[in-house]
Structure 1
Amino acid sequence: MPTLTNWNDTIRWDVPDDQFKTPKQISDVQAIVKQAFERNQPVTVVGALHSTTECMVGTGIVISMKNMNELLSVDRRDPERLTVTVQAGMSLHQLCSHLKEKGLQPPVILEFGNFQIGAVSGTHANDTSITREAQFSSFILSVKLVTPTADVMEISETQNTEYLPAIRSHFGMFGVVCEVTLRVFESQLLRVSVHTTEVDTFLDGFEGKLETLKADHDQVFGMLFPHTGKLFWQCRKFVEPGTPGPSPPVSWMDRIESKGVNLYKDVLLPLVKAGTSVNKSAAVAELLSTAVIELPMGIFSHGSYVINPCDRGIIYSERDPGFDFYDWVFPEQHWGDMVRGFLQLSDHFRRERDFALPLPALIYFIRKDEASLLSRSRGANMMAIDPTYQDPEDPGWKAFRLAFNEIAVQQGGIPHINKTRDGAISHFVRTQDPEVIQLYLQKRKELDPKDLFLNDFFRTMFAEYI
């Protein structure tokens, strides 16, 4: 009996041998779904199990697409609209490897190369971007879907178009996505530089500084250290081939990233986990944060390096240390107030509960984007505050998350369905336009009349609508 475990070992469930399916072709998927439909069995499709919520947990038949991972075609007929078609089980790392050989790159390259394309084609998976959409699903042009009635349906810009915005938010609830066609781009290098500042300095004249940041870069990723207020901006700019290489003293960084070494997971996180395994006091957390993260990060602000974005999709193995995210995004105009609330909350937990966050809160940008019905940026440009913690099961971390929820809701925050425990299931639907939710559920019900692909997580999340 397989035991399925999510990536940071916080969610586990057993699946009977005869209910765990690994199809190799679309006809296999049809046969599995047809039988489930006739027997009224629930069906769940799992990807890389990277979620930290139970959105991927289901009873009945569980389908893994890991054996359907082939590159099917690359279409270069229109230089302005390059596309690739892949089977749904292909990982982002595999996709990047294939495209790099062809001088191409995906539109969004996340640092987690384990992600399967079928899964991220319809979830909140995103990177950070100033100049184009940050959500992977926004670049999906077509999917081949085995519907819950076991029919094969193509959903694209020319066929069954009315389902396309919904399928970009499928979250496994519309059937089994078997093939995905997405837009890709000619390969372009990224020049990466790091700039440091104090968060109070950045918030002073926030609107002007935000516009300057946007004007000068294509992507911006931030790390905010709550106990010092230090803010690191990793600024990325697309550059032309032949651009000069990195400048000292960080010239070694491009070689490290190109070899799949991630400083966060391979160096910094293990040190923090080792240091807090004996003593979890706030004083130790702050010392570790400064010693193993902030000071080394300061080195990077003295130079820049150039990487191929395809080298960013790093594989996480089962041996990698688990850690936890708590990902909310906020309208830009509310972000400053949310940062202040987050820092006050962190200070309160440090003083009153001897609890501190040694790892930084992550910051990224998502442009206003209506391509998918459940987009977190349908109404406005958004900025994230995504606290991270090295021990997912620490009760102090849970208490902090619950307190963070209350502040986040007050500031118009929207949680990440896959990554926000205690938040997504309670708050996501309340942040959305009711008409959009109703349209989404209507389209879902049309394809899944028996609700076989609707698990307990989503039944709870959409309870007031269904």
Structure 2
Amino acid sequence: MPTLHNWNGQIQFNVVNGKLKAPTQIAEIQEIVKQASSQNQRVTVVGAMHSTTECMVGSDVVISMKNMNNILSVDKEHLTVTVQGGASLHQVCSHLRGLGLQLPVILEFGNFQIGAMSGTHANDTSITRKAQFSSYVAGVKMVTPEGDIMEVSETQNAQYLPAVRSHFGMLGVICEVTMNVFKTQPLHFSFQLVEVDSFLDGFTEGVKVLKGANDQVFGMLFPNSGKLVWQCRKFIEPGAVNSRPNALEALLGPIESKGISLFPDLFLPLVKATTGLHLSPVAAEAVNAALVDLPLKIMQHSSYTIDPCQRGIIYGEDDPGFEFYDWMIPEENWVDMVRSFLQLTGVFRREHEFILTLPTVIYFLPHDQSSLLSRSYGGNMIAVDPMYPDPSDPTWKMFRLAFNEIAMKHGGIPHINKTRDGAISHFAKAHDQGSLKQYLEIRKKFDPKNLFINDYFKTLFSGYL
């Protein structure tokens, strides 16, 4: 009986012998789905299983798309690429890079499969254009819960495209995806180090300046020291790339291209090392200041440029160890949310000797209604996304549950794939009710027998189905 697990090993589930399928062509998928339907068995499609929620847990038939991973075509005139659902982000980026093209949204982890990304909350931190990967899906070819082949695009069955961009595996099996692409745009990185209290006091002007000067902005908030680092990214002309990078560029460029804002190659090893020492809160803060604050001071004077296609790097099975806890907050509520968050971290530091040793991630999600379950459907959003190096720590769970409550009070919307304990209880209540209703009506039309909805989504949408 095969056992599957998510990226950090915190979620595992068994698949009945013979029920884990890895088809190589669409006809096989049709047969699998028809047979499951005839036996009233539910179908779950898995990708790279990067999720930290049970959204990918299957109870009957489980389909892996790993053997359907070909890049089918590139249309240079209309700037699109068509790939099979199991193609990885790394594969597609590598192929497009050779053609002088890039995807509009390139995340850090190259293991992600395009079929999954085409209909989930995967995003970067763009501020000048849409930040969600699914917003650039131009069309899909899918096997419906009836076992039929259906194409949904901007010209065929277009009324369903906003729902397909939020499929989350609940509408059928995404076999092929056509994505819009851009011509290559090198991405220049620089850093700003500020005191978080000062930034919050001048938030309106500070955000205006960040948005006016950059194409992407990624933040790292260090609650223990009160420091806030902005990683500022700007697209530049290809000819502007320095062909002979200085020593700092040579170091940080490859590191950045390999991970999420230097976490795996700079911060995470340091944090894991200090966590293993079981230091007291006072000692941990001192070590944190020495091993983290010093690199931050160096980074604020650095800058470098990379090809964005370098960012989708394959991680090894033993690489992940930390956990995200991702909530989006309406931009107008973000200052109050961060202040409440900092108060919460202070309470846990004093009362539970619990310290967030990893930085809390901040990213921007502009207003975007391209997908029905978009977390920025109602307006501009900014993330507060704590991270922790030991997902099994019971105090981390206590912190997550307390964090849920303050996030909800500030109008927060959790990440279906990443917010463990939060999304399943709060997403449906927090999301725009009109678009949620529209999505569920389309989902029911596609799948009247509930073949493609697992226990996680049944609970998440409880009271709405």
TM-score for the superposition, normalised by structure 2: 0.97
Shift of the 280–176 alpha-carbon distance from structure 1 to 2, 3 Å rule, reads farther
Match of 1:113 in 2: 110
| Worse-superposed segment, 176-185 or 439-448 | 439-448
Matches within 5 A, 1:243-282: 243-245=240-242, 250-257=248-255, 260=258, 263-279=262-278, 281-282=280-281
CA distance, structure 1, for counterparts of residue 329 and residue 147 of structure 2:
39
Matches within 5 A, 1:75-94: 75-78=75-78, 82-94=79-91
Matched, 1:242 2:239: yes
Match of 1:30 in 2: 30
Match of 1:166 in 2: 163
The Cα RMSD (Å) is 1.5
Shift of the 64–445 alpha-carbon distance from structure 1 to 2, 3 Å rule, reads same
2:124 corresponds to which of 123, 127, 147: 127
Task: Give SS of 1:296's match.
Answer: helix
Contact 2:44–2:63, Cα closer than 8 Å, also in 1:
yes
CA distance, structure 2, for counterparts of residue 286 and residue 464 of structure 1:
45
By how many angstroms is 1:6 displaced? Answer: 0.4
By how many angstroms is 1:41 displaced? Answer: 0.7
Q: What are the Cα deviations for residues 359-402 of structure 1, in whole angstroms up to 9, with x where unaligned?
A: 10000000000000000001111100100000001011111111
Residue identity opposite 1:210 in structure 2: V
Task: Give SS of 2:238's match.
Answer: coil
By how many angstroms is 1:422 displaced? Answer: 1.0
Contact 2:109–2:314, Cα closer than 8 Å, also in 1:
yes
Residue identity opposite 2:157 in structure 1: N
Match of 1:18 in 2: 18
Contact 2:15–2:58, Cα closer than 8 Å, also in 1:
no
Residue identity opposite 1:85 in structure 2: T
CA distance, structure 1, for counterparts of residue 178 and residue 389 of structure 2:
36
Matches within 5 A, 1:11-410: 11-78=11-78, 82-245=79-242, 250-257=248-255, 260=258, 263-279=262-278, 281-410=280-409
CA distance, structure 2, for counterparts of residue 85 and residue 287 of structure 1:
51
Q: What are the Cα deviations for residues 231-257 of structure 1, in whole angstroms up to 9, with x where unaligned?
A: 000000000012142875622235524
Task: Give SS of 1:242's match.
Answer: helix
Shift of the 395–281 alpha-carbon distance from structure 1 to 2, 3 Å rule, reads farther
Q: What are the Cα deviations for residues 132-182 of structure 1, in whole angstroms up to 9, with x where unaligned?
A: 111000000100010011000001111111111001000000010000001
Instruction: Please list every run of 5 or more consecutive structure 1 residues that lacks an aligned counterpart in the other structure.
Output: none
By how many angstroms is 1:278 displaced? Answer: 3.4
Percent identity among equivalent residues? 61
Task: Give SS of 1:442's match.
Answer: helix
Task: Give SS of 2:345's match.
Answer: helix
By how many angstroms is 1:101 displaced? Answer: 0.5
Residue identity opposite 1:230 in structure 2: K
Matched, 1:464 2:460: no
Contact 2:154–2:161, Cα closer than 8 Å, also in 1:
yes
By how many angstroms is 1:443 displaced? Answer: 0.5
Runs of 4 or more above 3 Å deviation:
246-249, 257-263
Match of 2:442 in 1: 443
CA distance, structure 2, for counterparts of residue 258 and residue 430 of structure 1:
36
| Worse-superposed segment, 68-77 or 266-275 | 266-275
Residue identity opposite 1:443 in structure 2: I
CA distance, structure 2, for counterparts of residue 28 and residue 322 of structure 1:
35
CA distance, structure 2, for counterparts of residue 20 and residue 213 of structure 1:
47
Contact 1:34–1:150, Cα closer than 8 Å, also in 2:
yes
Task: Give SS of 1:364's match.
Answer: strand
TM-score for the superposition, normalised by structure 1: 0.97
Contact 2:324–2:418, Cα closer than 8 Å, also in 1:
yes
Task: Give SS of 1:150's match.
Answer: coil
Contact 1:285–1:357, Cα closer than 8 Å, also in 2:
no
Shift of the 127–259 alpha-carbon distance from structure 1 to 2, 3 Å rule, reads closer
Number of residue equivalences = 463
Contact 1:250–1:302, Cα closer than 8 Å, also in 2:
no
